[in-house]
Amino acid sequence: MKIMFSAGEVSGDIHGEQLALAIRRMDPSAELVGFGGTRMEAAGVRLYKNFADYNVMGIWEVLKNIRRLFALLDGLTAFMREEKPDLLVIIDYPDFNWRLAKRARALGIPVFSYIPPSAWAWRKGRAAKCAKLADEFVAIFPHELPVYEKAGARISFVGNPLVDKVKPEMTRQEARDFFHMPKGKTAVLLLPGSRRQEIELLLPAMLQGARKLLQAHPETVLYLPLADGIREGRIQSMIDAASVPVTLVRDKRYALMAAADAAVATSGTVVMEAALLGLPCVVLYRLSPVSYFVGRLLVHVKHFSLPNILLDESFETELLQDEVTPDRIAEELWRLYPGNPHRAEVTAKLRQACERLGPPGASGRVAEKILAAARRLSAGNQ
């Protein structure tokens, strides 16, 4: 049996890694191929290409890279034609992956969607279009199901794999000692994201906000865990330009997050990871002016922080576009310091949000569904 994966960013690579490991445990004879990152490759997926050179976000940024992305799409189509996988598993990365799914269907290859497009939030008509292309769907959040069920999709929610993945590598005290967090100091993390555009758009404001925070509260120490594939040199040059004392960290990222007291983070998976570790965040989101203008016309959601979405409440501070200023970042981070009432309210709500993610073992349950779909659908094509 041959299963092909397609994941175009770091979060998808993490999910793909867990699926690959689980599938190999259940069926060691399964051959895994596709498009992904270093984690998937280490888990046994033979890559056609690594996504690191194709990782872009925002409408304007995609347009600038459109020729390269279509060349990649053509290359993966030829790869599918040659490899003849029994199933294509697309993981998130919707604008690219659903074009690939359409090519797969034209070649007679069944499609399994893991983390389908956020049709609940915008462009709800996508659910019906996707339902015609994919044979089965698995969502990682329960609020994603109704719009797809209404469209006639075969979709399920079996838990979120972050529940298993996000575990600190040591105790909180061991981590504070390991990262040299002095007693009496408040540790604040800067979490600018994994995409180049996110870093360029948000890290300067984070650094200036951290600088103001440090001036007002000198008991603060700052850390920045580096995401996979991020160039340390570029990050360090931005830190140097801001003249802010920030310690860069490569290893034991979850231990660092569990040991920290507060964080400022780009909206995305890292905010949910922080929630699972009890770390409250100030959540930021900013796009280029063109992308934001178009997005305002298409997206209709009350929240963009995942914990807020899960509870449908605005308990975790969200700063959008022009709200992302150094003063607001510093002000909102201070409210999350130990001893401040707002912190206790936020951490209590984070625990409630995490309960909505379901029990441990999600990746194994999804892997079972992928293997069952591959056997069922490949048999139907014979």
Whether the CB-CB separation of 130 and 330 falls below 8 Å is answered with no
Q: What is the DSSP letter of 74?
A: H
If residue 348 lies in a helix (H) or strand (E), which one and from where to where?
A: helix 341-355
Q: Is the dihedral of CA 150, 155, 158, 162 positive or negative?
A: negative
Amino acid at 58: G
DSSP assignment of 264-323 equals EEESSHHHHHHHHTT--EEEEE---HHHHHHHHHHB--S--SHHHHHHTS--S-EEEGGG
Whether the CB-CB separation of 271 and 232 falls below 8 Å is answered with no
Taken in order of first residue, the domains within the chain and their CATH numbers are: 2-159+361-380 (3.40.50.2000), 172-356 (3.40.50.2000)
DSSP assignment of 138-165 equals EESSGGGHHHHHHTT--EEE---THHHH
Q: What is the CA radius of gyration of the chain?
A: 21
Q: Which residues in 135-169 are b (16+ Cβ under 10 Å) and which e? A: bbbbbbbeebbebbeebebebebbbbbbbbbbebe
Task: Round to whole Å and give the CA distance between 25 and 89.
Answer: 18
Can you give the pLDDT of all 382 residues of the chain as single tens digits?
999 999 988 888 989 999 999 999 999 999 999 999 999 999 999 999 887 665 544 444 554 566 778 889 999 999 999 999 999 999 999 989 999 999 999 999 999 999 999 876 666 788 999 999 999 999 999 999 999 999 999 999 999 999 998 999 999 999 999 999 999 999 999 999 877 788 888 999 999 999 999 999 999 999 999 976 677 888 999 999 999 999 999 899 999 999 999 999 999 889 999 999 999 999 998 875 555 444 554 455 678 899 999 999 999 999 998 899 999 999 999 999 999 999 999 999 999 999 999 999 999 999 999 999 999 987 766 5
pLDDT of amino acid 231: 76
pLDDT of amino acid 70: 83
pLDDT of amino acid 178: 96
Q: Note the pTM of the prediction, 2 decimals.
A: 0.80
Task: Round to whole Å and give the CA distance between 307 and 353.
Answer: 5
pLDDT of amino acid 164: 92
pLDDT of amino acid 292: 45
pLDDT of amino acid 285: 87
3-class SS of residue 247 = strand
